[in-house]
Amino acid sequence: MRFRFLAIMLVLLQAGCLTQASHQQEAEQLVQHLHQAMQQQAWDEIMPLYDRKFLEAHPEKLWKQTLASLPKRYGQLRAIKPTFQQKDPRFRGDFYIFGYLLKFDHGTIRETITVFKPVDSDKLSITGHMLKPRS
């Protein structure tokens, strides 16, 4: 009797885990929107994509300057090549991590973007964005 009860509970628990929705496609769309705005140098359009805590750590004005300095230093953004992606599910939400090579006229930058989808909200936002010149 106990075995049957445990088997039923295990099936129910697994079913709950299998029905959890993935927001991978939405995270990819958010990053694609970011890259399109970067190519158009639409810096004001990019800022709402970032999480409030990211902008507290990287003030909006300074982050806009950082992004705007890329085409000034490296030329026009010509290509965006994906290098990796992964999902990191956590108790409080899912992290989607993307890696890219940004190819400019005069150089290449490694980019890592972290998108977070909290459990208690439908809003996805960028919580991490690293840019590292490739030597």
Taking a C-beta distance cutoff of 8 angstroms, is the pair 34, 77 a contact?
no
17 located within any domain: no
Read off φ and ψ for residue 19, nearest 5 degrees.
-90, -5
11 located within any domain: no
112 located within any domain: yes
33 located within any domain: yes
15 located within any domain: no
Name 88's bridge partners. 95
CA distance 97 to 127: 10
45 located within any domain: yes
User: Three-state SS for 40?
Assistant: coil
72 located within any domain: yes
Per-residue pLDDT of the chain (135 residues; tens, 9 = 90+): 665 655 565 555 554 444 356 899 999 999 999 999 999 999 999 999 999 999 999 999 999 999 999 999 999 999 999 999 999 999 999 999 999 999 999 999 999 999 999 999 989 999 999 999 986
Domain boundaries, position 71: 27-133
Q: Is 22 left (phi over 0), alpha (psi -120 to 50) or beta?
A: beta
67 located within any domain: yes
Structural domains of the chain, count: 1
CATH code, domain with 120: 3.10.450.50
CA distance 34 to 18: 30
CA distance 35 to 50: 13
Given this model, what pLDDT does residue 21 score? Answer: 66
